[in-house]
Amino acid sequence: MNIEVTNKEKHLIKLDIDGTSTNPDFSTLNQKLKVVLQKLIKQGHKICFTTGRNYLSALPFYKEVGLDTFLVTYNGAYINNPAEKDNKEIVVFHSIKNNVVKDILDEPVIKKNICNVLIDHVNGLNSEGEINLKTISTSDDIYYQEIFFNGNPYTKGENILQLLGKKDVLQLVLEFPKDERTFNEILLTLRRKYSDAITFYFGTKLKAKTPGDKILVPDPERRIIKIRNELAKLVHSVGKGVVTADSDSYLKTYAYAITDFGLLNSDGVAKYLTDYFKLDK
């Protein structure tokens, strides 16, 4: 790097969790990166996790590093500071309106092809001032149990709208069979009719055969649409957006830098931060 970083310069470092800060199992924090982050904190830098995960599944990573900053979840739909004991004020709380969720799930092409639905909604704050997050799913899938919910409780039911009632939601996840023609029709419907009301991301779902298995490879049979995720905006909005080596090509066009292609993603992030801040010197 040609940029000189001095000890007097303090940075805000925003990190994604999945695939950036985790090991390939997506459930444990990379320990090399953890050491690097804790060194940076001691130097006075601020570390902030910004993730598409829900609040409860992101919280253990926040605590393990020992952060005292804001935790940004649902990529900005909910922001709070878990370390601030005296002030649990919600900084950002952007929900998807109940009627929008119902309209989406009532779309003929979605009703015909949907495999699973997952919803996060909020019942206000609990007695300690923390978000009272409720998760509803139509599936007992291991992926959701181990990764998406991270062991937190959820409600399973076939009639997701009945369980939701009149509540707004923070995140809506739709899972479909991997049929490109149908999937493109679904995406076109979302873009044409709901682009003003929602943002969404689509990708391939990861799989595991049994509980406890490492979740390493994509499931070729399932695709997910995650309402509430805008990675490009995240990379583009910061001063120096860095992406991992295996990121989608469109993300790399926004990036200030790309991590080492020869390293595991989170190892690459650890190396990039070590080099950038000259932690080995």
| Contact assessment for residue 211 and residue 142, using Cβ atoms and an 8 Å cutoff | yes
- Structurally, at CATH architecture level, domain 12-93+232-276 sits in 3-Layer(aba) Sandwich (3.40)
Point out the residues of the chain with pLDDT beneath 50.
1-2, 208-218, 220, 229
User: HSE of 159 in the Cβ direction (CA atoms, 13 Å)?
Assistant: 3
Residues 6+ apart with CB under 8 A from 92: 76, 77, 78, 79
Q: Report the half-sphere exposure of 255 (CA within 13 A, side-chain side).
A: 16
DSSP string, 212-231: T----SEEEEEEEEEET--H
Q: Where do the domains of the chain lie?
A: 12-93+232-276, 101-228
Residue-level pLDDT at 194: 86
Predicted local distance difference test score (pLDDT) of residue 224: 60
Q: Residue 225 has what pLDDT?
A: 62
- Write down the pTM of the prediction: 0.80
Q: Are 20 and 269 in contact (CB under 8 A)?
A: yes
Give me the pLDDT at residue 142, please: 77
Task: Just give the CATH number of 101-228.
Answer: 3.30.1240.10
Which pLDDT value is given to residue 143? 77
